[in-house]
Amino acid sequence: MYDCKLCGVTCYTTYLCQDKCNRIKDMVNLYGVDTVLDVLETVLIRSEKQRNFKLKQKLNEEISQSLKIGNKKEAKNC
């Protein structure tokens, strides 16, 4: 038995999981490690600009939600 070198799951025949990590290795062989790493960093890790956009989006949702609640309370008082 081996521990997968990528994810650490116990494997029985190789140093990489047959289903998942071996597929990643195939992608690295196909596209090159730099391309795969670039895609992973682009897709999975947010830049500061993306984080700020997400934060503004979240704040706008909370503000509009609180305005809706405020409008409902005002309507009850009328």
- Site of interaction with Zn ion (CB under 5 A): 4, 6-7, 17, 21
The nearest distance, CB 28 to Zn ion, in angstroms, is 13
Closer to Zn ion at the Cβ: 7 or 55? Answer: 7
Inter-residue contact 14 to 22 (CB < 8 Å): yes
The nearest distance, CB 3 to Zn ion, in angstroms, is 9
At 9 the three-state DSSP class reads: coil
Closer to Zn ion at the Cβ: 44 or 75? Answer: 44
